[in-house]
Amino acid sequence: MKSLQLNVFPCVPPQVDLLTGRFDAENLQYKSTCIRDLVGIFRDESARQLLPDSLEVYRVEILVSPQQEGELLAGTTHLMPGKVGDEFFMTRGHFHQRREQAEFYFGLRGCGILLLQPEAAPAYSELVFAGSVHHIPSFTAHRLVNTGNDILSALAVWPAMAGHDYQALQPEGFSLRVYDREDGVFLEAANV
């Protein structure tokens, strides 16, 4: 391969490790979500209370871009393996405040399930694994569930002005839940 002979040097862009989703960049924001932050999210609230408050369930690292119309954000969610009772660790889940704004997720590490809950149609789900690509349509709430033993990492790209609406899903939450049962991973209607 020829070596680069340039009079004008290109900038070195931020980098992402595609095996883990970890960014190497100057402008990163981090958000950590622990067991104490997830009151009312899992079916078995008393099982949640038995876990240490400060146990980290997931961490998001976001490549900062300007918060303005037309801009995009990129961020990786690292969701730990674990369970609350027999329910797998999962993200809080949200609609976008701007409901019409869609998103892409890319599975990078580990395995799990993406729950998708449209406003006006039944919930559905997709398997997440290294290399999986997920289009999250407009008007659709979304949540990651880690069903494996490794960290589940997924890279996301979404409109900078989309916002997050966590309230609209309460108190019922998603209509599907994911459990670890003796004979495997079970995806069940939430009200059974």
Using CB under 6 A, list all residues that contact ligand F6R. 33, 60, 75, 77, 91-94, 103, 142, 144, 156, 158, 162, 164
Please give the size of the binding site for Mn ion, defined by CB under 5 A. Answer: 1
Of 20 and 33, which CB lies nearer to ligand F6R in the complex structure?
A: 33
- Which residues 80-139 are close enough to bind Mn ion by CB under 5 A? 103
Sign of CA dihedral 180, 181, 187, 190: negative
Other beta carbons within 10 Å of 12: 7
Cβ neighbours for 74, distance < 8 A, ≥ 6 positions apart: 16, 62, 63, 65, 155, 156, 157
**Shortest approach of Mn ion to residue 96 CB, angstroms?**
6
Task: Tell me the closest approach of the beta carbon of residue 142 to ligand F6R, in angstroms.
Answer: 6
C-beta of 187: minimal distance to ligand F6R in Å? Answer: 19
Q: At 51, is the secondary structure helix, strand, or coil?
A: coil
Q: Closer to Mn ion by CB, 103 or 126: give it.
A: 103
The residue nearest Mn ion at its CB is: 103
Place of tokens 């809080």: 92
23 vs 156: CA distance, rounded Å: 12
**For tokens 């997920």, what's the residue?**
134
How far CA 189 is from CA of 4, 45, 115, 179, in Å, comes to 57, 18, 12, 11
The nearer residue to ligand F6R, 83 or 89, going by C-beta atoms, is 89
Nearer to Mn ion, 87 or 103 (CB): 103
What residues line the site for Mn ion (CB under 5 A)? 103
